[in-house]
Amino acid sequence: MTLARSEAVPDTSPFGFRQGSFDVTVLSDGHFALPAAIVAPEATPDQWLDIERRLGGSAGTIRAHANIPLIQAGDDLILIDLGGGGKFQPTEGRLASSLAAAGHDREAITKVLLTHAHPDHVWGLLGIDDRPRFPNASYYVGAAEWDFWMDPDFTSSRPSVLHAFAIGAQRDLSAVRERIVLVQDGDDILPGLQAIATPGHTHGHMSYALAGPETLVVTGDVVTNQIVSFEHPAWRFGNDTDQEVGANTRQRFVDRAAVDRLLLLGYHFAYPGLGRVERSGNEYRYVPAHV
Ligand SMILES: [Zn+2]
C-alpha cells in the first residue's frame, strides 16, 4: 500500500548541528493535527486548499510538528520547551524517547527554557507519575508569562476558553516552583544565549537567540507555520491570546528575520524546522535550511 503524503511518517531521528560554541540537537516530540480555523481563519476556501496541499494536510487539518532543541553549552544541557507529554494529542509526547535516542538521560538536563506555557510546550513537564521529568533542571519562564497563568483568580477573571490551559500551566509550573527563574526581555541565560520577548501568542512569550556565525533564533510560537506565518504574517492566528499584538509582533519578527538573515528553528515547522526568510518587496517566504 502506498501511503498518501499526509499519512507518511517523517524521519524524525535526532538532527544535530553546530551553532557557534553550542552543539544543538533537534528532538521531535511528535506531531498533532491543527484545523484551518486555528491555522488560518482569514484564508479563503481556495487559499486554504493551497495551504493544505503544500503542507501535505487533509480534510481541513494540517500536521503541526513539535521540534525541541537540546543545547549542549559547556557543562549545561538545555531543553527549549517540553512538548505535550502525550496529554494533549496521542501523536505527541515523544520527547523522552527522542532524548534517549540522542544518548542522554533526563536527569542530565540542567536547564529548561520555556517559550510559553501552552499545552504542547509545557504539558511534558510531568511524567505519568506526576513528578518532574527533568528533576535536576532549573526552569526559565518569562516573568509576564508566569504572572498571567499563575494568577490565583484566573478562572474568575479570564475567558473560559483559556481555563483548561491555565489549569494545566498551574499544575506543571507549581510542581517546579522552587526551581523557577523568571526571565525578562534581553536577559542572558548564558553568554551567547539570550531571551527575546515576542508577546501576543501569549502575554509573556519568549524566543531565544543563540550566537553564532549567523544568529539562530528558537522561535517558539511567534511564527507557527512555515507557509502562513511568513506569506500572511498579518493574518490572525486562532490560538494567539492577544491576536492584534500577536500579528504585530509576528510582522516585525518576520521582517527582522529577513533583514538580519536570521537562522530560525521553528517549533511547529516541518521537522527539524530550520530555515531562513527571504523578502521580495513586501512579500516573505520561508526557505528550509536543512535540505
Ligand atoms: Zn505551540
Q: What is the CATH classification number for the domain harbouring 126?
A: 3.60.15.10
> Pairing state of beta strands 193-197 and 274-280?
unpaired
Write out the chain's pLDDT in tens, 291 residues: 334 444 455 688 899 999 999 999 999 999 999 999 999 999 999 999 999 999 989 999 999 999 999 999 999 999 999 999 998 888 999 999 999 999 999 999 999 999 999 999 999 999 999 999 999 999 999 999 999 999 999 999 999 999 999 999 999 999 999 999 999 999 999 999 999 999 999 999 999 999 999 999 999 999 999 999 999 999 999 999 999 999 999 999 999 999 999 999 999 999 999 999 999 999 999 999 975
In the chain, the number of structural domains is 1
Instruction: Tell me how far the alpha carbon of residue 124 lies from the centroid of ligand 1, in angstroms.
Output: 13
Name the DSSP class of 15: E
Rounded to whole angstroms, how far apart are CA atoms 113 and 181? 9
> Is the separation of the CB atoms in 193 and 80 below 8 Å?
no
**What integer pLDDT is reported at residue 66 of this predicted model?**
97
Q: Whole domain around residue 26: which residue ranges? A: 5-288
Whole-number Å distance, alpha carbon 220 to ligand 1 midpoint, is 7
Say how far apart CA 26 and CA 19 lie, in whole Å. Answer: 12
Q: For position 47, what pLDDT does the model report?
A: 97
pTM: 0.95
Q: Ligand 1 centre and the CA of 250: distance in Å? A: 14
Q: Separation of 119 CA from ligand 1 center, angstroms?
A: 8
Q: For position 7, what pLDDT does the model report?
A: 44
